[in-house]
C-alpha cells in the first residue's frame, strides 16, 4: 500500500478495536469519541499532506522494495541530501502543529529505520532478530502505519535502577513465559503518547533508564505488536481537548495527541515481532549503538525549530499588542527566544552538515550537535513558557470566552479590552492562544512533555558527558600547565 490518505488512516483506526479507556469508560471508536476525535482529525490532515501537490515531493520517496510512493520519514539516508529531504518532510509535519504534537509518526519511523539498518546489532542476540526488525520496518513503511512506543516502567521505587532489577511486585513489564508462539509479557509501562491513535505499539529499551548490571533477562527485550493485541490496555489521562471552540482553546481543540499508561495482561508477542530478548547489555546500548538516538533526535530537533519559531511569533505579537516592546527587560526576554531559535537551527544545520556514514551504512547526523540540541531544549522550553507568563501577566487571565464576545458584556469587552494596536477581539484571540500555550492544562503538559519525553535533564547530561571526548581539550590545558 502506498502512502495513506487521512481517510484511510481513520478507517484503519475504526477497523481496529484496541482496549482504550478514558474517564472510566471503554471507548469503542476513538475517531468519533469527543475529546479524541479532533486529534484524530489533525493526524488525518497530516496524512493528507502526503498527497497534496504543494508538499508531495518533500513528503514522499519511492520505496526501494515496492516502487510505490512511501513516506519520506522512512528514507534510509545515504547522503546529506537524503537527510535534508527527510528534514523538509519532518518540518512540514512539525509546522502543522507548531511542534505541539511531538509524536507525529515520523518520530518512530526514523527510529525504526535506524534499528532496521543496524540489523546485525540485533543478530548478535539471535540471528532471526535481524530479519524480524528489517521485515517490521518494511511492513510499517509499506503500510504507512502509525506507531506509539513505551519504554519506561511505572515509578514505584527507583532504587531498582541502582541494584539489579529483580521486581517482586510485578509492576515492571517482564517476560513471564516463553511459548512456541512467542513471549508472554506481563506488567505495565508508561507512557504511550499517541497510543489510542496508533496502529501499533513498539516496546524497546530506554537509553535513559539503563538496566543495572546483573538484571534478569526477562526485563530485557524489544518488540512491537498491534495496538489491538489481546490483553493490551491503554488507560488515557484526562483529555485536554474539552471540545471547546478553536477560539476558546486554540491548541487543545486541535492538537490533543493523548498519553496513556499501558497495561499488558499476559500479552502474546509472536516470535517474528521480537527484536531483542534476554540480553541487558544489548538492550542498554541499543539506542546509541544503532544510532536510533541520532535519527529520532533529527526529528526532535526539527520539531523544536518549529516550536521556537511559534513561540517567537507569539511572544512578538503579545509584546506588540501590549505596547511593551520599549522595555529593556522585554527586549531581553525576546532576545532569549531568538537565541533559542537560532541555537536550535544552528545545531540542526551543523548536525546535517557534519553527518557521516555510520557503521551500518546510514548517513547519520552528528552526535554532538544532536545531543546538545536535545539536552538544551529540555531547559529552553520551560523557560520560554515562563517568558510567555512574564510578558503576558494579567492578559493571560483577562480572557473572555467566545460566548462572552457576543454576550451581555460584549460592548464593555469591545471598549475596555482593545489596545493601541489591536481590537478587543484580536487581543482576546491572541491571548487565548498564549494562555493555551503556557497556562492551560494543554500548555502545562507541553512543558512536562519537553522536560521528560526524552528522559530527564540529569540523565541527558550524563549521556552528553559520556559521548563527549574531552581528550583534545584536556591535553591542550595539560600542555599549557607543563610549560611551567
Ligand atoms: C507528557 C509525557 C509524555 C511521555 N511520552 C512517552 C512515550 O510516548 N513513551 C515513553 O516511553 N515514555 C514517555 N514518557 C515518559 C518519559 O520517558 C519519562 O517520564 C522520563 O524518561 C523520566 O522517567 P520517569 O517519569 O519514570 O521519572 P524517573 O525516572 O522516576 O525520574 C524522576 C526524577 O527523578 C530523577 N531520577 C530518578 N531516578 C534516577 C536515576 N536513577 N538517575 C538519575 N535521575 C533519577 C530524575 O532526575 C527525574 O527528574 C512521557 C513523559 C511525559 C511527561
Per-residue pLDDT of the chain (484 residues; tens, 9 = 90+): 689 999 999 999 999 999 999 999 999 999 999 999 999 999 999 999 999 999 999 999 999 999 999 999 999 999 999 999 999 999 999 999 999 999 999 999 999 999 999 999 999 999 999 999 999 999 999 999 999 999 998 887 665 455 556 677 788 999 999 999 999 999 999 999 999 999 999 999 988 888 887 788 899 999 999 999 999 999 999 999 999 999 999 999 999 999 999 999 999 999 999 999 999 999 999 999 999 999 999 999 999 999 999 999 999 999 999 999 999 999 999 999 999 999 999 999 999 999 999 999 999 999 999 999 999 999 999 999 999 999 999 999 999 999 999 999 999 999 999 999 999 999 999 999 999 999 999 999 999 999 999 988 998 898 899 889 999 999 999 999 999 8
223 near 275, Cβ under 8 Å?
yes
Is the CB of 208 within 6 Å of ligand 1?
Answer: yes
Domain end: 252, 287, 322, which one?
Answer: 287
396 near 431, Cβ under 8 Å?
yes
219 near 407, Cβ under 8 Å?
no
Classify burial at 235, counting beta carbons within 10 Å of its beta carbon; exposed 0-12, middle 13-18, buried 19 or more: middle
Q: Are both 90 and 231 inside the same structural domain?
A: yes
CB-based burial, 399-414: b 16+ in 10 Å, e otherwise: bbebeebeeeeeeebe
Q: Are both 296 and 261 inside the same structural domain?
A: no
Q: Are both 251 and 315 inside the same structural domain?
A: no
Q: What angle do CA 455, 340, 459 make, to 5 degrees?
A: 20
DSSP characters over 320-352: HHHT-TTSHHHHHHHHHHHHHHHHHHHHHHHHH
Q: Are both 344 and 458 inside the same structural domain?
A: yes
* Structural domain harbouring 372: 291-482
Q: Flag whether 455 is in a domain.
A: yes
Is the CB of 159 within 6 Å of ligand 1?
Answer: no
Is the CB of 190 within 6 Å of ligand 1?
Answer: yes
SS3 helix, strand, coil % of the chain, rounded to 5? 50, 15, 35
Q: Are both 168 and 97 inside the same structural domain?
A: yes
Instruction: Please state, as a whole number, how many other Cβ atoms lie within 10 Å of the Cβ of residue 1.
Output: 11
The CATH number for 59's domain is 2.40.110.10
Q: Are both 252 and 342 inside the same structural domain?
A: no
In this structure, the residue with its CA closest to atom 22 of ligand 1 is 455
Give distance in angstroms: CA of 134 to centre of ligand 1: 29
Give distance in angstroms: CA of 154 to centre of ligand 1: 9
Give distance in angstroms: CA of 462 to centre of ligand 1: 14
Q: Which residues lie closer than 8 Å to 176 by C-beta, 6 or more apart?
A: 184, 185, 186, 218, 266
Mutate to test the pocket of ligand 1, among 150, 452, 463 (most ligand atoms within 8 A of CB): 452
Is the CB of 163 within 6 Å of ligand 1?
Answer: no
Which among 244, 305, 255 has a CA at the least distance from the CA of 100? 255
Q: Are both 266 and 322 inside the same structural domain?
A: no
Q: Flag whether 1 is in a domain.
A: no
The number of the ligand 1 atom at minimal distance from the alpha carbon of 151 is 11
Total number of domains constituting the chain: 2
Strand order across the beta sheet in which 147-149 lies: 147-149, 200-203, 221-226, 274-277
Q: Which residues lie closer than 8 Å to 161 by C-beta, 6 or more apart?
A: 209, 210, 212
pLDDT of 158 reads: 62
Q: Flag whether 152 is in a domain.
A: yes
Give distance in angstroms: CA of 451 to centre of ligand 1: 9
CB-based burial, 190-200: b 16+ in 10 Å, e otherwise: ebbbbbbbbbb
Q: Flag whether 116 is in a domain.
A: yes
CB-based burial, 100-127: b 16+ in 10 Å, e otherwise: bbbbbbbbbbbbbbbbbbbbebbeebbe
Instruction: Please state, as a whole number, how many other Cβ atoms lie within 10 Å of the Cβ of residue 415.
Output: 10
Is the CB of 248 within 6 Å of ligand 1?
Answer: no
Classify burial at 24, counting beta carbons within 10 Å of its beta carbon; exposed 0-12, middle 13-18, buried 19 or more: exposed
For residues 271 and 279, give the distance between their C-alpha atoms in angstroms, rounded to a whole number. Answer: 16
Q: Are both 23 and 157 inside the same structural domain?
A: yes
The conformation of residue 453, written as its DSSP 8-state character, comes to B
For residues 23 and 236, give the distance between their C-alpha atoms in angstroms, rounded to a whole number. Answer: 8
Which among 308, 219, 311 has a CA at the least distance from the CA of 264? 219
The CATH number for 468's domain is 1.20.140.10
Per-residue cell: 338: 531568538
Quick check: helix, strand or coil at residue 226?
strand
Quick check: helix, strand or coil at residue 37?
helix
Q: What angle do CA 262, 265, 268 make, to 5 degrees?
A: 100
pLDDT of 169 reads: 79
Mutate to test the pocket of ligand 1, among 103, 111, 149, 152 (most ligand atoms within 8 A of CB): 152
Domain end: 258, 287, 316, which one?
Answer: 287
Q: Are both 101 and 156 inside the same structural domain?
A: yes
pLDDT of 160 reads: 46
Mutate to test the pocket of ligand 1, among 102, 103, 158 (most ligand atoms within 8 A of CB): 158
What is the Cα gyration radius of the chain?
A: 24
Q: Are both 19 and 149 inside the same structural domain?
A: yes
36 alpha carbon, distance to own chain's centre: 18
Give distance in angstroms: CA of 108 to centre of ligand 1: 18
Which among 423, 431, 442 has a CA at the least distance from the CA of 398? 431
Domain end: 253, 272, 287, which one?
Answer: 287
Q: Flag whether 319 is in a domain.
A: yes
Q: Are both 255 and 313 inside the same structural domain?
A: no
Per-residue cell: 112: 525504526
The number of the ligand 1 atom at minimal distance from the alpha carbon of 458 is 47
Q: Flag whether 439 is in a domain.
A: yes
Mutate to test the pocket of ligand 1, among 441, 453, 466 (most ligand atoms within 8 A of CB): 453
In this structure, the residue with its CA closest to atom 2 of ligand 1 is 449
The number of the ligand 1 atom at minimal distance from the alpha carbon of 154 is 26
Between the alpha carbon of residue 250 and those of residues 99, 108, 241, 321, 432, the distances in Å are: 14, 27, 10, 18, 7
Is the CB of 192 within 6 Å of ligand 1?
Answer: yes
Q: Are both 226 and 320 inside the same structural domain?
A: no
Which among 266, 302, 306, 255 has a CA at the least distance from the CA of 443? 255
73 near 89, Cβ under 8 Å?
yes
Is the CB of 257 within 6 Å of ligand 1?
Answer: no
Amino acid at each position: 500500500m502506498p502512502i495513506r490518505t487521512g481517510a484511510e488512516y481513520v478507517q484503519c483506526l475504526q477497523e481496529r478495536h484496541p482496549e482504550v479507556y478514558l474517564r472510566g469508560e471503554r471507548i469503542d471508536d476513538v475517531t468519533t469519541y469527543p475529546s479524541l476525535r479532533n486529534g484524530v482529525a489533525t493526524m488525518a490532515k497530516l496524512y493528507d499532506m502526503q498527497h497534496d501537490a504543494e508538499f508531495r515531493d518533500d513528503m514522499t520517496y519511492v520505496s526501494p522494495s515496492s516502487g510505490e510512493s512511501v513516506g519520506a520519514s522512512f528514507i534510509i539516508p545515504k547522503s546529506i541530501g537524503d537527510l535534508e529531504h527527510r528534514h523538509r518532510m519532518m518540518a512540514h509535519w512539525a509546522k502543522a502543529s507548531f511542534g505541539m504534537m511531538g509524536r507525529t509518526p515520523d518520530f518512530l519511523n526514523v527510529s525504526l529505520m535506524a534499528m532496521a539498518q543496524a540489523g546485525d546489532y540485533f543478530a548478535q542476540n539471535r540471528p532471526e532478530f535481524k530479519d524480524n526488525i528489517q521485515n517490521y520496518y518494511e511492513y510499517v513503511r509499506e503500510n504507512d502505519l502509525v506507531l506509539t512506543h513505551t519504554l519506561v516502567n511505572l515509578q514505584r521505587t527507583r532504587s531498582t535502577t541502582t541494584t539489579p532489577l529483580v521486581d517482586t511486585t510485578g509492576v515492571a513489564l517482564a517476560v513471564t513465559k516463553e511459548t512456541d508462539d512467542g513471549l508472554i509479557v506481563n506488567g505495565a509501562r508508561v507512557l504511550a503518547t499517541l497510543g489510542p491513535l496508533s496502529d501499533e505499539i513498539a516496546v524497546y529499551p530506554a537509553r535513559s533508564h539503563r538496566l543495572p548490571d546483573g538484571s534478569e533477562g526477562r526485563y530485557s527485550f524489544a518488540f512491537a505488536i498491534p495496538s489491538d493485541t489481546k490483553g493490551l490496555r491503554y488507560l488515557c489521562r484526562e483529555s485536554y481537548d474539552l471540545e471547546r471552540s478553536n477560539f476558546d482553546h486554540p491548541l487543545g481543540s486541535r492538537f490533543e495527541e493523548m498519553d496513556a499508561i499501558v497495561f499488558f495482561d499476559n500479552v502474546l508477542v509472536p516470535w517474528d515481532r521480537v527484536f531483542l530478548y534476554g540480553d541487558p547489555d544489548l538492550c542498554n546500548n541499543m539506542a546509541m549503538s544503532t544510532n536510533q538516538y541520532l535519527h529520532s533526535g533529527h526529528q526532535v530537533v526539527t520539531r523544536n525549530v518549529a516550536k521556537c519559531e511559534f513561540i517567537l511569533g507569539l511572544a512578538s505579537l503579545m509584546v506588540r499588542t501590549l505596547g511593551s516592546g520599549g522595555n529593556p527587560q522585554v527586549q531581553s526576554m525576546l532576545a532569549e527566544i531568538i537565541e533559542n531559535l537560532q541555537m536550535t537551527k544552528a545545531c540542526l544545520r551543523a548536525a546535517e552538515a557534519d553527518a557521516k556514514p555510520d557503521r551500518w551504512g546510514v548517513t547519520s547526523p552528528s552526535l554532538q550537535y544532536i545531543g546538545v540540541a536535545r539536552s538544551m531544549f529540555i531547559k529552553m522550553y520551560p523557560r520560554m513558557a515562563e517568558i510567555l507568563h512574564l510578558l503576558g501577566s494579567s492578559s493571560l487571565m483577562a480572557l473572555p470566552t467566545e460566548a462572552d464576545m457576543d454576550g451581555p458584556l460584549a460592548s464593555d469587552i469591545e471598549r475596555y479590552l482593545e489596545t493601541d494596536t489591536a481590537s478587543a477581539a484580536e487581543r482576546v484571540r491572541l491571548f487565548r492562544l498564549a494562555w493555551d500555550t503556557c497556562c492551560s492544562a494543554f500548555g502545562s503538559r507541553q512543558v512536562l512533555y519537553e522536560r521528560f519525553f526524552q528522559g530527564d535533564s540529569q540523565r541527558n547530561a550524563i549521556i552528553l558527558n559520556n559521548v563527549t571526548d574531552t581528550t583534545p581539550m584536556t591535553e591542550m590545558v595539560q600542555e599549557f600547565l607543563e610549560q611551567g
